[in-house]
């Protein structure tokens, strides 16, 4: 089982750090900035992509998975349309968990977001 992510202070550089997806990321400089480092860590966790089949996947994660499939299995013109609409819908409702998505979100998106 993987270890849970947690922040640590790196004495030699003076930065609060975190390791996400195998990368070390600087969060805040200075030992007194632990609260700021924790805040930035939580912001990073919110936008971190999750597998499309996970129970807590966001709408944007599912759209990205679909677009990867579309690039392989559909024509360039069709894929271009999928990317355009997928990007627009991700900007509108991408941070929602897929389980929270309701028809009203799509209705609101189609009434307000699409203008050609």
Flag whether 17 is in a domain: yes
* Beta-carbon-side half-sphere exposure of residue 89 (alpha carbons within 13 Å): 23
With a CB cutoff of 8 Å and minimum separation 6, the contacts of 28 are: 15, 16, 34, 36, 37, 40
73 in the same domain as 107: yes
Q: pTM of the prediction?
A: 0.55
Overall domain count for the chain:
2
> pLDDT tens digit string along 4-51?
678 889 999 999 888 876 778 888 899 998 999 888 888 777 666 666
Question: 72: which 2 tokens?
Answer: 């392989």
C-alpha 56/C-alpha 28 separation (Å) is 28
**97 lies in which domain range?**
59-112
Inform me whether the pLDDT recorded for 1 exceeds 60: no
């Amino acid at each position: 089982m993987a270890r849970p992510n947690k922040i640590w202070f790196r004495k030699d550089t003076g930065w609060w750090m975190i390791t996400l997806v195998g990368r070390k990321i600087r969060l805040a400089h200075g030992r007194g900035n632990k609260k700021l480092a924790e805040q930035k860590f939580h912001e990073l966790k919110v936008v971190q992509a999750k597998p499309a089949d996970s129970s807590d996947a966001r709408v944007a994660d599912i759209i990205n998975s679909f677009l990867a499939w579309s690039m392989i299995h559909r024509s360039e013109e069709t894929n271009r349309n999928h990317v355009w609409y997928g990007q627009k819908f991700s900007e509108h409702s991408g941070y929602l968990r897929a389980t929270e998505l309701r028809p009203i979100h799509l209705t609101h998106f189609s009434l307000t977001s699409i203008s050609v």
